[in-house]
Each structure stands twice: as C-alpha cells, then as structure tokens.
A and B are shown apart, each in its own frame.
Chain A
Amino acid sequence: MKILVCISKAPDTTTKISFTDGDTKFDESGVKYIVNPYDEWYALVRGLELKEAQGGSVTTVTVGTAEDEATIRKALAIGADDATRIDVKPEDASQVAAEIAHFAKEGGYDLVLLGKETIDYNGSQVGGMLAEHLDMPFISLAESLTIEGTTATLDKEIIGGVQTVEAELPLVVSCAKGMAEQRIPNMRGIMAARKKPLNVVPSSNAAKNTSFEKYALPAPKSAVKLIDPDNMDELVALLHNEAKVI
C-alpha cells in the first residue's frame, strides 16, 4: 500500500502572536516551528502503523521553503520512508491543495492522510480540496481507520456523535484525535532520517484564490470580577442580570 501523508509546519503552541508591516504579516521573528500536531500525532503515526502491519511505504509531502526542512526531517525521524518538498511558500489553502494534487496524481497513492487542520490558520480546507482535485472520497475528522484488502473502515466524528463508514481505496482522510498515539523519535530514527531521501520538486505555480490582507489582535479582556466562594447566589445573579447568559 502506498501512503502519502501531508505534513505542514505550525508555530509552537506557546507562540505569542504578533504582526508586522502595518499588521499585514505574521511576525515570524523568534517563532519556533513544530510539525503541525494533527499531521504528526495522528496522520503520520497511523500511516506508519498501517505500513508496519500490512507493508507498503509512507511518503510525506510538504509545500514549503527550505526553512521547512527541520520539520520534514522530524517526520522522517518518526519513520516516514521518504519526503518530498514542493518548493514554494504556502500562502493559501487552494494553492497548497493544487500543488499537492499535482504531485500526488503521478504517485498512484492508495491513501492520502492529513491532520484535521493546522493549528495556525485552522482552515480545515486542504483535505477536501485535495479530494476534489483527485476525485477521491474525503473522510473528514476520522478517529479510526482500518484497511482490509482495498476497503477502508473508519469512525468519523459527526455532529453529536460518531459514524462508522466504509469506502474503497483510494481515499483522502483527515485525521483527528483517537486515530493514533504520538510517537517520540528515538536516536536511531533521528540518525536514519539524515540519510533518507528528501526530494525537492518545483512548484506547479498554482493560483491563490484568497489572500490575507490584514490581521488584528482581539481587544484585551477587562479584569476578572472575583466572587466570594461562599456566595454562589451572587455569581448566579451576575450571570443572569449582568452577563445575561442564564
């Protein structure tokens, strides 16, 4: 089975968010990047588990510049066989999906896995777009995935519950919590990753259908109102009369 895992970088979760150039650009100075947790913990690890159980290969693909190679090496250290970087700065989901689709069409992958969203732009867009480009079914927010022959069985989150669905490969699957457990790369993995192929391919110059024109930070919260722990009637009264939420 040929598995493709889409890997994106994201700012470390403790990053303080600020903007430059008249609030038109995310201020990257001093920002530490990590592998987007949904891509790493769930999509990549489940891909590796399937390969370990059933054979095949796990390739990662990243749309990004040379600066992204540290995060790509981490994915290799966790166990991916080889990686491809499509050499262009990712600026919009439609661009990223079209670039990956262009690459994936050649590869004949049985399964394309990605995280349910990135933790910076939270768009949840690339998976669905990619599925449409590749004319594959898209299973979003999958919490489990097993494969028998060419049939995949998945549990996916739906509004208010969980649905079990079945579909034939090839498929695009966005992965959410429950899919797998985080794996910490060991020394051997890290050493091996240095020798694994990281192919760089040129961009197909996909169009960007949207652009971020400006950013803003939310207004700061006013100070907390403290309530005596022995006076919960007061809290309830405030929630009713002042906050008007109950």
Chain B
Amino acid sequence: MSVLVYINSNGEKIAKNAFEAVTYAKKLGEVTAVTNGKADDSMLAQLGKYGADKVLVDRSFEGIDEQQITKMVATAAEKVGANTIVFSNDLIGKAVAPRLSVKMNAGLVAGASGVPKEDGTVPVNVFSGKAFGFVKVNTDKKIIALLPNSIQVEETGGEASVEEFAGNAGDSRVKVKDTKLPEGDIPLPEAELVVSGGRGLKGPENWDLILDLAKELGAATACSRPVADSDWRPHHEHVGQTGVAIAPNLYIAAGISGAIQHLAGVNRSKVIVVINTDNEAPFFKAADYGVVGDAFEVLPKLTEAVKKFKASN
C-alpha cells in the first residue's frame, strides 16, 4: 500500500516529530514523503533512515501556508496513488489535515496515539488525555495526524531518493509580515524535558529557581494557568486543559497543586516529578517521584545535583 507523509522542512533541520510520522507511515505501507521549499537534497534524503523510499519536493514555494500545502499534498497523493496520508499533529498538521480531509473527502483521525489495531480502528487521545478513543474511518481514503511524542522513532536504514515535482500549490492568500522565534528557547510542544512552576513560587522574581534548573537540564519551561494569567510568565508557557498539552519524557512541577485542568495538559508525560510543601497536594497522585518540601530549598539543591551528575557523566 502506498502511504504519503507530509514533512515540514522549512527550518534549519527536520524536527523529530517528522521522523515519528515517517516511522509511523512505514508501519502502514510503502512511504513517500512530500515537502516544499529550499531544504537541500542531503537533508531530505535522511528521511530514508526512518523508512521513506522517496521524497517529493516542490521547490516553487516556501513556507507553511495551509492552503498551498493542502493543494500540494493532494497533488502528491494523486501522483503516487496514496489512499492513506500521515501528518504530525503539530501546529501545521492541525491547520492542514482538516482542510485536506475535505478536499479529498478522506476521514481524518486527529491526534492518533498509536498504530491501527487489528480491526482497523486507530487509538486517539480524548477528554484532554483522560481517556482513549478508537476511531473508525468510514471513507476509502484516510488521513492520520499523529500526536507528537507518542511513538518511538525507528531507524530502518536506507537513503531516500529526492525528486522535484510540481505540487500545483497556487498562490498564498495570507501575507506573512513578521516571524518571531525567541532565540535559545526550546519550543514547549517539542520539548523532551520540562520544568514548570506554579503559584507556590510566590512571584515572578523567584523564577530563576525554575530557569536555573531548566538551563542545567536543557529543559523548556512551563507554568500553571494562574501564573500566566498574572503575567508572571508569558502565556505560551501555560500548560493544561486551556493551555498547551504536552507529552515530554520528564515533567518537573514545583509549587503546582495539580488541579484536574492542569493535569489534563501534562498527563501524557512519561515521568512526573512533583515538588510541593503540602503532602496532600493532588499532584502527588499523578506523580512518579515526589518531594514533600519547600521549592525554594529543593529546587537549588536539585539544580546542584544535576550539575554534579552532568559533570561526572
């Protein structure tokens, strides 16, 4: 079976969630990747390592305009005869996959968390991570948008051939005026390690406690909703049911009570560490490791311990 996977190659390197999408597609059939822009052939050829046989690249336009990408992917699907199309359910996938599903009349499984089961249903996360659903697609064509960080990338070897093609993407109707990518920051949705602070840290002047630990670990930083609402931290750091939902390998929460709405955004983390003065804080029920103690004392000690560990490893 021919499977098409859309890859964003506009950045300096291809992100890990793209390799996850290729790995996923490889489990379903023979993989062609499709992308656009100026990325050089050698960068695209490495998609072969994860199972892509071929990469189609439309060099006539750059960027991530959702209408152009939709048209290009539809053209590529026709060209390779793919009935299954895989996206990463990142910000681009969320904008493009729904459009494409209407254009191609293909049922969309948004937020897939694993490969299809024997009966063909695909597992997805629902109720903000509080449950799974199993989705059946009722159309011949289907689109699966895979949640970032939900499967392991697998290297199967090989190099993909890179072929230029005309995706008939048309013109963009959206003008990009300015792009701000804060330097040095690790984008939260992709971060593997996250250090997060709540109201227990008392005020923005104390955030060095969080930032120092994050820096030592190479982690991204996050916060609870009241912290963002009080402008102690920028609102893109707000995680939870009404903020960003994340699934890092490690989530360290200091001075956060663990309200159900907060947990909804972080419960897919592989390992959770909770630091809280109150041994009855609900977060301890969702934690793997807990430290009952004052974050103002524990965080510096933890930062020191990480420093020591890094020095000796």
Contact = CB atoms under 8 A, between A and B. Distances in A.
Contact of B305 (A38, A163, A214, A233): A233
A126 B102 CA distance: 10
Interface in A1-38: 11, 13-15, 17, 19, 37-38
Contacts of A41: 242
Nearest to B249: A245
A221 B285 CA distance: 8
B126 A132 contact: no
Contact of A164 (B102, B109, B178, B285): B178
B40 interface: no
A125 B187 contact: no
Q: Dominant SS at the B interface?
A: mixed
Chain A binding surface SS class? mixed
A206 B131 CA distance: 27
B90 A165 contact: no
B134 A233 contact: no
B91 interface: yes
B108 interface: yes
A201 interface: no
A239 interface: yes
Interface residues of A, number: 79
Interface in A128-150: 128-129, 131-133, 137-141, 143
B200 interface: no
Nearest to A101: B102
B136 to A, nearest CB: 5
Q: How large is the interface on B (under 10, 10 to 19, 20 to 34, 35 or more residues)?
A: 35 or more
Interface string A156-193: 01111111111110000000011000000000000000
B29 interface: no
A232 B100 CA distance: 50
A236 interface: yes
A125 B289 CA distance: 36
A11 B128 CA distance: 11
A246 interface: yes
A218 interface: yes
B202 interface: no
Contact of A225 (B94, B107, B289, B309): B289
Contacts of A141: 91, 94
A128 B305 contact: no
B271 interface: yes
Contacts of A37: 242
Contacts of A131: 99
Contacts of B94: 124, 128, 140-141
B106 A239 contact: no
A111 interface: no
Nearest to B260: A14
B176 to A, nearest CB: 5
Contact of B110 (A123, A162, A229): A123
B194 to A, nearest CB: 11
A235 B131 contact: no
Interface string A200-211: 000000011111
B298 interface: yes
A158 B250 contact: no
Given A121-B126, A177-B235, A245-B270, A211 B98 contact: no
A57 interface: no
Contact of B181 (A94, A160, A168): A160
Contacts of A232: 291, 298, 301-302, 304-305
B101 interface: yes
Leading 4 A-B pairs by shortest Cβ distance: A128-B98, A229-B293, A209-B107, A160-B187
23 contacts: A93-B98, A94-B101, A97-B102, A122-B125, A122-B245, A132-B98, A162-B179, A165-B177, A166-B175, A168-B173, A209-B105, A209-B137, A210-B137, A211-B135, A212-B135, A217-B131, A218-B131, A224-B290, A227-B290, A229-B293, A236-B308, A239-B271, A245-B193
Given A160-B185, A225-B288, 11 more contacts: A94-B107, A124-B94, A126-B98, A166-B174, A207-B138, A213-B134, A214-B133, A221-B287, A224-B274, A229-B301, A235-B291
